[in-house]
Amino acid sequence: MTEESTTATPHRTEGLGTDPVTALPEKMATGPTAAIFAEIRKVMQIPLLTSIWRTLVSIDRGLPTVWAATKPIYLSGLPDAALGRLSRADIFPVPAPLGADQLADAGMDAEELRAALGIIDAYTRSNSLNMMALSGLVLSPVGPSPADSIPATAPVLPNPPELLEKSEIAPDVWMRLERVNRLGAGANSRGVATLWRHLAHYPGLLRLINHAFAPLQTNGTIDRAMQEVFEQSQAEGVRLAHFRGDINVIPEPATEMVATYVAGPSGVGRMVTLGHGLARWLRQSEPAG
Calpha distance 266→281 (Å, rounded): 21
CB 48 within 8 A of CB 121: no
3-state secondary structure of 140: coil
Every domain of the chain and the residues it spans: 20-284
User: pLDDT tens for residues 24-70?
Assistant: 777 788 899 999 999 999 999 999 998 899 999 999 999 999 999 99
Where does the pLDDT of residue 205 fall: very low under 50, low under 70, confident under 90, or very high at 90 and above?
very high
Give the angle subtended at the CA of 96 by the CAs of 95 and 99, to the nearest 5°.
130
Calpha distance 227→220 (Å, rounded): 11
Contact partners, residue 23, CB within 8 Å, separation at least 6:
16, 51, 54, 55, 57, 58
User: pLDDT tens for residues 227-269?
Assistant: 999 999 999 999 999 999 999 999 999 999 999 999 999 999 9
* Average pLDDT of the segment spanning 57-84: 96
Half-sphere exposure of 42 (CA within 13 A, CB side): 6
Contact partners, residue 161, CB within 8 Å, separation at least 6:
115, 119, 198, 201
* Predicted structure pTM score: 0.90
Distance of CA 123 to the CA centre of its chain: 5
Range 240-267 burial, b when 16+ CB lie within 10 A, else e: bbbbbbebeebbeebbbbbbbbbbbbbb
Is residue 141 left, alpha or beta, with left meaning phi > 0 and alpha meaning psi from -120 to 50?
Answer: beta
CB 216 within 8 A of CB 222: yes
User: pLDDT tens for residues 111-160?
Assistant: 999 999 999 999 999 999 999 999 999 999 998 877 777 776 788 899 99
Is the predicted pLDDT of residue 17 greater than 50, yes or no?
no
